[in-house]
Structure 1
């Protein structure tokens, strides 16, 4: 029961945060067009496509993590998202997030990986549906798939504009 409660607490911290980040890309201050412009400035082209892909992926992974459903695949999405964020928006800014660094995205990815390795707990849809999408191999698979997906996305779509100056 302690592990089930701990995993529920982790899922309820991580999942809604991801959902909120995705929703902010769509309905936040600048909406999708503002997010698209930000992604263009990060070198993710076309920005309109990446704004939508990131928002849907964050919201989808957030819902799955919150419910404890398809945990391993959901964590692969989180690892991919955090890797792209770390290598675009946070790269070169040091470790600490208060300086724009990659501390936050690393913590989110590692917490998600812990969830994939340990499992979502007994109070999850994976448990209710008797789905086995977590464990050490699922954690490894989520890390590898997330990193490969991020690497592929960046190899194909990341075209930063060189600094003029």
Structure 2
């Protein structure tokens, strides 16, 4: 095993596992689906019950796919879309730094996923076992992860994001 393949494996497994756990949390822990649906409604992602299921399912599937190195560039695109929506709906008003619940962490997760798409999944991945390499790695991986992710995230915001209007004083 090369140091490159080991490093990519650790990055994929860590980032994918974190994202899958985040989706699991939305369903089974904390506020569960009903509490998170109400939170999504308050954020402006309507209908909340639909969006919490889409978000949790995407986090679990994209996280598992990235961890396994399965369709790595598309999994990275899902990360970009998820983090774009999260940054815009939850963190944008709080500035950059995570200490203020800003968008710093969502940015780091999205950039890391894109870098994995560029590097490829490595030798110890389902992509390698099936295809002999990562489909769409290198510059193509960059374009797939960023373009597909941006279209998905922006599309979701354009179609579904309806924040409540600020009340007049």
TM-score tier by shorter-chain length is over 0.9
Alignment of 1:53-72 (within 5 A): 53-72=54-73
For 1:102 and 1:49, the matched residues in 2 are separated by 24
Alignment of 1:123-162 (within 5 A): 123-130=124-131, 131-162=134-165
SS in structure 2 of the partner of residue 92 of structure 1:
helix
For 1:60 and 1:81, the matched residues in 2 are separated by 12
Q: CA deviation at 1:132?
A: 1.8
Alignment of 1:1-165 (within 5 A): 1-130=2-131, 131-164=134-167, 165=169
The gaps in structure 2 that reach 5 residues or longer are none
For 2:42 and 2:151, the matched residues in 1 are separated by 23
Bigger shift: residues 34-43 or 125-134 = 125-134
Give per-residue Cα distances to partners, 1:97-137, cap 9 Å, x unaligned: 11010000000000000000000111111111125232211
Q: CA deviation at 1:28?
A: 1.2
For 1:120 and 1:38, the matched residues in 2 are separated by 35
Q: CA deviation at 1:163?
A: 2.3
Kept after mapping to 2: 8 A contact 1:126/1:133: no
Kept after mapping to 1: 8 A contact 2:136/2:144: no
For 1:163 and 1:27, the matched residues in 2 are separated by 32
Q: TM-score scaled by structure 1?
A: 0.97
